[in-house]
Structure 1
Amino acid sequence: MAVLPIRIQGEPVLHAPAEPVTVFDDELRQLVADMYETMDAAPGVGLAAPQVGVGKRLFVYGWTDDDDIEHRGVAINPVLWITPTPTGEADDEEEIEGCLSFPGERFPLRRSPEAILQATDLDGEAFEVHAEGWLARIFQHEYDHLDGILYLDRLPRPFDREWVKISKKRGWGVPEKAWQPGVDDLEA
């Protein structure tokens, strides 16, 4: 396994829809193993293939809830169903979100409180997960990556302008920017 470089906002693969996975082989298994290692090293709770430069529709996730239950898996060619997103402003503490492709920053964002994830696993077997709260948020965040959407694209004012300023200041927003978990001093 290897820790892969994580692409930073502005890299074209992050801003384009990913292609479906059609081959379930050892190369895919290696990619997934490397993605888990990269996510854990970052550290993060989810990582989509476009974030490591692979334009394929898959993501990994790993999060332990308040009851010490670990939610960990890979979603290949997922479909995501969500309940309506509540109206109003996001809570600055409860609805704060970060992204490994925009490391070091967090912004409040409203997300649907419930989601149903339908996908296949590494063996091509279909599965379904009903999620609430943070797990539903993780699924929505990672699923967006597969459609070329960063959570930054969903931010309301004034945060929509704040992230642009940060990106310009750091020289991001252009191709070929990445960071290496465990090497670079950047964390989401």
Structure 2
Amino acid sequence: MSVATSWSRIVSWLEANDPATATRINPPATTVDLRYLQAAMNRPLPTELVEYLEIANGTEHRYIRGALVPPFYNLLPVMEMLSSRKMLRDIQRGIGEAGPLLGDSDPAGHPPHEWLDCFLPIALAYDGGLLYVDLRDGDQFGCVWEWHEWNVESAPYWRGVGEMLAEIAGAFVDGRPAPTRYHSPDLPQVTDGYLHWGELPV
């Protein structure tokens, strides 16, 4: 399923079931945004990520009641992707020595032990956790991980942004529980205007 198709299905479901969240989706990223992102990362960007940003530049995530991405994430616009990355880079540089980080040369999909320059945040959780795209070289280039400073995941959540959006769309529209990898498969629910993910009552 294409990124455009998945995103269209997500937006259609939101308009019907959670219109308040639908109104918080940002317009497409500008050409300037995308050029700035490319220059800042100084690495190729996954095609699926660019396709998504050309449709929507994240969400007004601080104003969404709940989480668009399971289990508790909201999508960042380009400039906040980069500011979040800078914050984590500054923290990492404060912990270690200046210079290349040890994991930068590992292939994409290899479990990291520190925040790396080639990681790009794409979504933020209310507890400070992040989803990020792994821009290291390798067969898993573009895979999506979860980052918590107190926990190192052993494998990516999704193979890429396209798979992530397809699974969200499938949960929204087709009622297929989203396999959140390290949490139980969940379905979206809107309760009193709050979008959240959890097991539906039997």
Asked whether the two chains share a fold, i.e. TM above 0.5, the reply is: no
Please indicate the TM-score interval, normalised by the length of the shorter structure. under 0.3
- Between Structure 1 and Structure 2, whose CA radius of gyration is higher? 2
Of Structure 1 and Structure 2, the greater strand share is in 1
Kindly indicate whether structure 1 or structure 2 has the higher relative contact order, using CA contacts under 8 Å at least 6 residues apart.
1
For normalisation by structure 2, the TM-score amounts to 0.24
